[in-house]
Amino acid sequence: MTVFSVNDIRKTFSNGEVEEEILKGVHLSLQEGELTALIGASGSGKSTLLTIAAGLQTATSGNILFDGRNLSTLSANKVRDVRATQFGFVFQFAHLVPFLTVEEQLLLMLDVAEVKQSKKERAANVQKLLQLVEMDHRKDAYPSTLSGGEKQRVAIARALIHKPKILFADEPTASLDSKKSKQIITLLHNLTKTLHFSTLIVTHDEEVLPFVDHVIKMQDGVILPTKDDMYTK
Residue 197 pLDDT class (50, 70, 90 cuts): very high
Q: What is the DSSP string of 106-155?
A: HHHHHHHTT----HHHHHHHHHHHHHHTT-GGGTT--GGGS-HHHHHHHH
pTM of the model: 0.91
Q: Is the pLDDT of residue 175 over 90?
A: no
Q: Per 3-state DSSP, what percentage of the chain is helix, strand, and coil (rounded to 5)?
A: 40, 25, 35
Position with higher pLDDT, 130 vs 178: 130
**Mean pLDDT rounded to a whole number for the chain:** 91
Q: Do the strands 87-90 and 61-66 form a parallel or antiparallel pair, or are they unpaired?
A: unpaired
Q: Percentage of the chain surpassing pLDDT 70?
A: 97
Q: Is the pLDDT of residue 30 over 70?
A: yes
> Rounded to an integer, what distance in angstroms lies between the CA atom of residue 161 and that of residue 163?
5
Class of domain 2-228: alpha beta
Domain boundaries, the chain: 2-228
Q: In the beta sheet, which residues pair with residue 199?
A: 35, 167
Q: Which residues contact residue 72 at a Cβ distance below 8 angstroms, ignoring those fewer than 6 apart?
A: 58, 59, 62, 63, 64
Whether 183 and 105 have beta carbons less than 8 Å apart is answered as no
